Amino acid sequence: MARFVWLLVVVLAVIALVRGLRRRNTPPTPTHNRAPHGKAVQPQTMVRCAHCGVHLAEADALQAPDGRHYCSEPHRLAGPGPRPGG
Q: How far apart are CA 71 and CA 47, in angstroms?
A: 9
| Tens digits of residue pLDDT in 8-50 | 999 999 999 998 888 777 776 666 666 666 677 788 999 999 9
| Tens digits of residue pLDDT in 63-76 | 999 999 999 999 99
Q: Model-level pTM?
A: 0.51
pLDDT at residue 86, as a whole number: 44
Q: Using CA of residue 55, residue 78, residue 68, residue 63, what is the dihedral sign? A: positive
